[in-house]
Structures are given as structure tokens and as C-alpha cells.
């Protein structure tokens, strides 16, 4: 891959994505296999005047071995030094850069029960620290190909061709070609306009219908807004949490989902691919996992059992079916890309930043919205060519939002 393009991408991630501030600490999360790119990102961060850069490396095989050989008790422990590290992050608010290159099947075969129990055990402690940091620091997720991921996306290509094709798709969808900074400025403007249009409608509820079986209702809350594109910390630093991004999203009334939604793309959940599934909701909660094969059903049933909020919705996002990412015709098996290809919902944690003027409120005022909380936030795609979405507004009007998969 062209070195200049890679450097431009790393710079884009640091300067527009995380918007690293002078004197700020930076934490990069990356897989050891893709160390070369973490190095480029680290250099870009130092050039942006980061005070220090730390990398948290991961390795699929080491993770698999841990689940195989460590006892449930050991895996579930949060040693004191790890808690101190989290506390240090609460105190110093480093920018976080996640470089994802995950093999969608990385943890296939790992004991599902054990995996879920570990998540349940560690969840409350992690959430305690995360809640203290939410919306106070900048973060970004961006992808680069690994061989395993590229081969999952392009199974008929040689490894090197698959990697090259995935690079091309990533650089294109993240608008790195041409003048990336101008591209993102323009893109953010368009997304903000779309959100403003939605917000001016005053949407009270959304009804989804598609011939694949989706027939679903959800309510939105007064005082919540759709957001998209760049985000802002409470102290006012602008950053770009997802690269790419094509969505207008908000957090719904967690008690209001009713009906059936069918997924329209497979999904990698905790390192295992699930496909042909859906959920039936009653009064906000998943009451039935619909899945054709037993493996997918098992993975999803474990997913929604990790905590109370895991079976409720934290996100409603609108993305036209003809989005640039869907137009690539590529199924990425990576939510960062696939969620930006069509409409989706997410189980789990909601976004407080979708409360209008959230940054001027006390945490008690934000809590009063009773948004969903959970250790998980898992998007699943429900957009299809014939998806229709109709809104009912707070003043009683009916408005077509999506017709045949795209903006009405």
C-alpha cells in the first residue's frame, strides 16, 4: 500500500478523528499483526503534540488461550492495578484511538458461557469508570485490513489481493482520497443538515415495515435529538468518533419497542458471526430471539443476558440503503462499516449526547431521561430495499421518513 496514503490516513485519524490536543496523552488500541499502522498513528499523534502515546496491543490467539486455560475465577478478576489504570484515565482523560482489524471469526469455538460470565463479572466495574469519562474525552474507531478479515470479506481472492481490495474500500469510504480534511468538512455539513430536518419534525414514534417480516414500533423522547457526523466533548473539543460514518442516530424510549425486526446483514458478535436472525420486542424488551441456526441463536441469547439493558435498545439510526458504503457492494463483517450501509438499531447502552443541550445539564438532569444503560452496545442492521419508515410527530402528523429503503 502507498506509504503516503497510509500516512494521510493515520494523520486523518489523529487530527480529525481523535483531534488530539497539545499536551494530551493518547492510548492506541491495536492488534500486534498490524503494528506497522499503530506506529504511523503514534507518530502522527506526536506530531500533533501529544504528551505521550501508549499502545494496548491485542492478539487473537493470546485471547483464545486465556479463555481456554484460565479459570473463570481468574478471568473474572479485576486486579487492583487495572482499576488504578482506569482511575488514572478518569483523572487524565487521554484521547483513545481504536484501530480495528479484527478477524470476524476470531473467537469462534470459545466457550460461550464462560465468555458471557466474564463479561457479566467485569461489567459493573468497567461501567463505573466509563460513566465518569463518557463525553469528556475524544475517541475514534477506524479500520485497517488484516489478512484474516480481508479473506472473510473476499474469500475467493488470494490473501494479498483481498488485503488490497479491503484497503481500497476503507480508504474510499473514509474519504481519504483527495483532500481528506475538506471531504470531512463537507460530509459533516450534509449529515448535520439531515439531522436538523429530522429534529425539526418533532418525531414521537417511528413505524418500520418491510416484507422480510419487520413490523416494528418505537417511541422517541421529547428533548432528545438526532445527531450525526462530528461529536463534541462536554468541554467543547470536536472529534469524529466513527470513521466512516453515514448515520443520523438517536437514543429511544427504552420501554417502547414493540413488534418484530429482522436483521438484513450478518454480524460479528464477540468474535462469532451470526446470520439470519431477528428479535421480537414487547414493551421495550427482547422477548424472543429469532434465528435460523442454533449457533446464532445461542450467541444472541448470551448477548442479551449479560445485564438488564442488553435486551433493550439504546440506538435508532437512519442510513439510506443507497449509502456510499452499501454502494461498494461489500459486506464487511465489521459493524463500523456495515452499520453505515443501512438503517440499524443497537441493543444496550444509549447515547447521553443525544439529549438536547446535554453539555449544559447536570448528570441528575441527564439521568432523568432514563436512557438505557448496559455494558454492551451492539448494532444490528435492519435496512432493506423495501424498508418503509413512517413517523408520527408530537403534534399528531404522519410523515414518511423512508420509502423503499431510502429518504422519502
* Cβ 14 to Zn ion shortest distance, Å: 23
> How big is the CA angle at 157 (ends 152 and 161), to the nearest 5 degrees?
100
Q: Which positions touch Zn ion (CB under 5 A)?
A: 247, 249, 317, 339
Backbone angles phi, psi at 35, to 5 degrees: -55, -35
Residue number with CB closer to Zn ion (53 or 248): 248
Cβ-based burial of 226 (10 A; exposed 0-12, middle 13-18, buried ≥19): buried
Residue number with CB closer to Zn ion (274 or 317): 317
Residue number with CB closer to Zn ion (6 or 382): 382
Residue number with CB closer to Zn ion (15 or 379): 379
Asked if 14 contacts 176 with a C-beta cutoff of 8 angstroms, the reply is: no
Residue number with CB closer to Zn ion (8 or 245): 245
* Cβ 331 to Zn ion shortest distance, Å: 17
For Zn ion, the nearest residue by Cβ is 317
Residue number with CB closer to Zn ion (291 or 345): 345
CA dist., res. 312 & res. 226, Å (int) = 19
* Cβ 257 to Zn ion shortest distance, Å: 16
* Cβ 227 to Zn ion shortest distance, Å: 10
* Cβ 162 to Zn ion shortest distance, Å: 26
Residue number with CB closer to Zn ion (262 or 317): 317
* Cβ 339 to Zn ion shortest distance, Å: 5
* Cβ 314 to Zn ion shortest distance, Å: 10
Note the Cα 182 to chain centre separation in Å: 24
Q: At what angle do helices 112-133 and 80-92 cross, to 10 degrees?
A: 30
Cβ-based burial of 306 (10 A; exposed 0-12, middle 13-18, buried ≥19): buried
CA dist., res. 335 & res. 340, Å (int) = 8
Asked if 389 contacts 206 with a C-beta cutoff of 8 angstroms, the reply is: yes
Cell of 398: 404522519
CA dist., res. 19 & res. 256, Å (int) = 36
Amino acid at each position: 500500500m502507498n506509504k503516503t496514503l497510509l500516512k494521510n490516513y493515520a494523520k486523518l485519524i489523529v487530527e480529525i478523528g481523535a483531534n488530539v490536543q497539545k499536551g494530551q496523552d493518547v492510548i492506541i488500541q491495536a492488534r500486534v499483526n498490524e503494528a506497522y499502522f499503530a506506529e504511523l498513528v503514534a507518530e502522527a499523534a506526536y506530531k500533533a503534540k501529544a504528551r505521550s502515546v501508549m499502545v494496548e496491543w491485542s492478539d487473537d490467539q493470546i485471547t483464545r488461550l486465556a479463555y481456554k486455560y484460565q479459570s473463570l475465577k481468574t478471568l473474572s478478576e479485576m486486579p487492583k492495578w487495572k482499576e488504578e489504570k482506569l482511575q488514572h484515565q478518569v483523572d487524565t482523560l487521554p484521547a483513545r484511538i481504536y484501530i480495528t482489524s479484527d478477524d470476524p471469526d476470531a473467537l469462534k469455538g470459545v466457550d460461550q458461557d464462560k465468555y458471557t460470565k466474564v463479561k457479566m463479572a467485569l461489567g459493573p466495574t468497567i461501567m463505573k469508570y466509563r460513566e465518569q469519562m463518557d463525553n469528556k474525552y475524544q475517541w475514534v474507531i477506524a479500520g485497517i485490513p488484516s489478512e484474516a478479515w480481508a479473506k472473510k470479506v473476499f474469500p475467493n481472492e488470494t490473501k494479498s489481493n483481498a488485503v488490497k481490495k479491503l484497503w481500497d474500500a476503507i480508504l474510499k469510504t473514509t474519504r481519504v482520497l483527495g483532500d481528506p480534511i475538506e471531504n470531512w468538512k463537507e460530509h459533516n455539513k450534509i449529515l448535520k443538515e439531515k439531522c436538523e430536518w429530522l429534529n425539526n419534525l418533532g418525531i414521537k414514534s417511528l413505524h418500520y415495515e418491510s416484507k422480510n417480516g419487520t413490523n416494528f414500533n418505537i417511541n422517541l423522547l421529547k428533548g432528545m435529538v438526532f445527531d450525526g457526523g462530528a461529536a463534541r466533548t462536554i468541554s467543547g473539543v470536536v472529534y469524529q468518533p466513527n470513521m466512516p460514518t453515514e448515520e443520523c442516530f438517536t437514543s429511544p424510549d427504552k420501554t417502547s419497542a414493540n413488534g418484530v425486526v429482522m436483521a438484513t446483514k450478518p454480524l460479528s458478535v464477540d468474535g462469532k458471526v451470526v446470520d439470519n436472525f431477528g428479535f421480537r420486542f414487547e414493551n421495550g424488551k427482547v422477548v424472543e430471539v429469532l434465528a435460523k441456526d442454533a449457533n446464532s441463536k445461542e450467541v444472541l441469547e448470551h448477548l442479551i443476558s449479560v445485564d438488564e439493558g442488553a435486551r433493550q435498545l439504546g440506538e435508532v439510526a437512519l442510513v439510506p440503503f443507497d449509502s456510499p458504503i452499501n454502494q461498494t457492494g461489500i459486506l464487511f463483517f465489521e459493524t463500523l462499516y456495515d452499520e453505515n450501509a443501512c438503517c440499524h438499531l443497537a441493543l444496550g447502552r444509549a447515547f447521553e449526547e443525544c439529549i438536547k443541550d446535554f453539555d449544559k445539564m447536570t448528570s441528575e438532569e441527564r439521568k432523568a431521561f432514563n436512557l438505557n444503560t448496559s455494558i454492551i452496545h451492539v448494532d444490528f442492521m435492519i435496512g432493506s430495499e423495501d424498508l418503509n419508515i413512517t413517523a408520527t410527530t408530537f403534534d399528531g402528523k404522519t410523515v414518511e421518513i423512508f420509502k423503499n429503503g431510502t429518504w422519502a
